[in-house]
Amino acid sequence: MSEIEKPNKTWSISQRPRAQSGAACSAALMAFLFDLAALVDLMSIGTLLAYSLVAICVLILRYQPGTLSSSSQTEKLVELVEGEKVAVGGGDSGDEYGTETEARPRRETFTTVCKMQTLFITVLCVILANCLTQLLAGHVVVVLPCVILTLLCIVCLVIICRQPESKEALTFKVPLLPWLPLFSVFVNIYLMMQLDRGTWCRFAVWMLIGFIIYFSYGIRNSSEGAKRSSPRKYEPALQSKSPIYTAAANDSDTEAGGSP
């Protein structure tokens, strides 16, 4: 234990089986207390929710302007600063150096549209999962909400399709945007609605426990906040440099003053 308590001490190979044994004991305890089918359903609903969140995040990030969020982009900015080339634009500009200015959707507006699209898909999946027989029978009470929700989803889809995509260079990009992410969200939510109420109750309890742990400890000790604050160390270098347009402006003023 004295080796573990030392600061900045990584676990050795001999200490790793302790964590593995703890995880194995926890899994064995869960399998002892709950039915195997209930655990499989609980794992399924968690996986489907994670896939849905990933699809929504892909949809949002692909329509956001390029930002200096990665370490490679930050290093490129530092090289520009040391080389006397300082970009005037910030992280919300068209490309990663802030030299392009083109029409971009507002983040708040586009995020709101994505949330509304997800909400409409969720309500539509609830109706399809619970009232499919009445829908096939042609009951107006079920058909009318489905038609309205489908039209609203189409309107949101048209709004999303009309937005310009981000030009940030990535190693891999999801094809068929925005059709593939939205189809993935629809399929995942529809499969989640097929699960029974007991699975949803257990899932709600686990989510409540996760939220308690996150808001009481995780949000204050998150590494994401440290990543967001790391580019600030380059602010003094940026402030000490002048924009690349200053020299050109001074030369034009001198020529204008020297001409008769």
Does the pLDDT of residue 84 top 90, yes or no? no
Centre a 10 Å sphere on the Cβ of residue 41 and count the other Cβ atoms it contains: 19
What is the distance between the terminal CA atoms of the chain, rounded to a whole angstrom? 84
- The residue behind tokens 């109420």 is 197
Residues 215-254: pLDDT tens digits? Answer: 888 888 877 766 665 555 555 555 555 555 444 445 545 4
Does the pLDDT of residue 81 top 90, yes or no? no
Please give the pLDDT value at position 212.
92
Q: Is 14 helix (H, G, I), strand (E, B) or coil?
A: coil
Work out the average pLDDT over 100-129.
80
For the chain, the maximum distance between any two Cα atoms, rounded to a whole number of angstroms, is 94
For 196, the token pair is 């029974």
Report the percent of the chain where pLDDT is more than 70.
63
Residues 51-80: pLDDT tens digits? Answer: 999 999 998 888 876 544 444 455 544 554
d(CA 10, CA 221): 19
Please give the pLDDT value at position 229.
58
Q: How is the chain split into domains, by residue range?
A: 35-65+104-167+176-195, 200-240
Work out the average pLDDT over 70-95.
47
Does the pLDDT of residue 3 top 50, yes or no? no
Reported as type and span, the H/E element at residue 234 is none
Residue/partner pairs of 70-77 with CB below 8 Å, 24 or more apart: 74/230, 74/231, 74/234, 77/234
